[in-house]
Amino acid sequence: MAYGAIYRKALNLSSRVKARLAVLLGVTLVTAACASGPLWGPPPEGAADAWAAAPEFAFASDTFAFANLIRARHQGEANLYANYCFVLARGLRQFSQFARFDPALPSLDHDGYMALVQQVAALSVWRPALPADERIVIPGYANLREFSRAEEATVKEGLGARFWTLVHWTNWRVTFWATRDHQANVAHEIVSELRAGRLVQLLVTNWPKPELNHTVVAFESRDRGAFVDFVVWDPNDPDAPGIVTFERDAGRFWATRVYDTEPGAIRVFRMYYSRFL
């Protein structure tokens, strides 16, 4: 009987521990961002030692005109467009890779534009960019900034819901502690991707501090010798680019200028660059 009682207590304790771990993981999934580059492995060819940029991208014209709002800054407001940073960052890349704009063509109604945005948002962002003649044409507007300003509600609705981006199975990686080699590898990968003309979506996090579990999109790097500045578009700030800095000697990233975030050390991972990551 004594052994039975001990066994039952152990089972109860195990159940409580599992439940607490499940809750912790659930909170992490909902509040954190996701994905990373390969945790281990050699850096790709090329080094984070030169200027690089996605040549077809311009911040002033190729970004959304509206922001992902920060819920803590808008407490009590109804129908808040908040916690959509993953949706917007992915959407920015999808428009960059799969859409083109033609202001000479006649404008469409709400349903027509909705269908086009949904087509763009349905394409897997890790796929190669389409050639110009195969892209989804958005008529009546010159660029994404102009389109999303005039058709804000339609664009938001067409990009879709946030739920699956919040519970993406890789979100738990935000709890990983990254080594210097890993972070150097990420920096190499960002520069290599920019040199190839591709935008790079990044998870930026200072977890377990509940301040920065967020995604941005790098579109340019600037070499400063001991540091490499990555210029980023932040879904929370449509007005100006941000900066995430890689410090070579320390092998770590800094939130140099990330919206509503104190400058400080962070961990950076790549996002949505393959079917599984």
Model confidence at 166, pLDDT cuts 50, 70, 90, reads low
Looking at the chain, the whole-number percentage of residues with pLDDT higher than 90 is 61
What is the pLDDT, as a whole number, of residue 169? 58
| pLDDT surpasses 80 at 277 | no
pLDDT, tens digit (0-9, with 9 covering 90-100), for 48-97: 445 788 888 999 999 999 999 987 877 778 789 998 999 999 999 999 99
Confidence of residue 44 (pLDDT cuts 50, 70, 90): very low
Amino acid at 120: V
Domain final residue, candidates 134, 166, 198: 166
In the chain, the amino acid numbered 199 is L
Please tell me whether residues 41 and 174 are part of one structural domain: yes
Residue 196 forms part of a structural domain: yes
User: How many domains is the chain partitioned into structurally?
Assistant: 2
**Residue 151 within any structural domain of the chain:** yes
Mean pLDDT, the chain, as a whole number?
82
Rounded to whole angstroms, what are the CA distances from 131 to 38, 99, 165, 265, 268?
29, 10, 27, 39, 30
Query: Are 81 and 144 contained in the same domain?
Result: yes
pTM score of the predicted model: 0.80
In a domain, 234, yes or no: yes
| pLDDT, tens only, 218-261 | 999 999 999 999 999 999 999 999 999 999 999 999 999 999 89
Place of tokens 């534009």: 113
Summarize the confidence of residues 204-208 as an average pLDDT: 87
In this prediction, residue 164 has a pLDDT band, given cuts at 50, 70 and 90, of low
Residue with the bigger pLDDT between 124 and 168: it is: 124
| 192 and 135 fall within a common domain | no
* Confidence band, pLDDT 50/70/90 cuts, at residue 170: low
DSSP 42-66: PPPSS-S-S-EE-TT--TTTSS-SS
Q: Tell me if 47 is assigned to some domain.
A: yes
Same domain, 202 and 249: yes
Least confident range from 69-78, 119-128, 199-208: namely 69-78
pLDDT at 219: 97
Q: What pLDDT score was predicted for residue 33?
A: 35
The pLDDT score that the predictor gives to residue 168 is 60
Among 137, 166, 195, the domain boundary falls at 166
Please report whether residue 42 resides in a domain: yes
In a domain, 61, yes or no: no
CA separation (Å) from 241 to 59, 181, 269? 7, 27, 19
Mean pLDDT computed over 38-45: 37
Residue 76: per-residue pLDDT: 76
Percent of the chain with pLDDT over 70: 77
Residues 136 and 94 in one domain: yes
Question: Do 206 and 81 lie in a common domain?
Answer: no
Domain range enclosing 265: 21-51+168-270
Is residue 199 helix, strand or coil? coil
pLDDT at 35: 30
Distances (CA, A) of 83 to 101, 115, 148, 151, 164: 27, 23, 18, 20, 12
Q: Are residues 251 and 160 in the same domain?
A: no
Do 204 and 151 lie in a common domain? no
Residue 23's pLDDT band, with cuts at 50, 70 and 90, is very low
Taking 50 as the threshold, does the pLDDT of residue 153 lie above it? yes
Domain-embedded: residue 254:
yes
So what's the pLDDT on residue 208?
81
196 plus 229 within the same structural domain: yes
Whether residue 57 is contained in a domain is answered as no
Choose one of 144, 166, 188: the last residue of a domain. 166
Residues 88 and 136 in one domain: yes
Cα distance between residue 66 and residue 114, in whole Å: 17
CA distance 214 to 246: 17
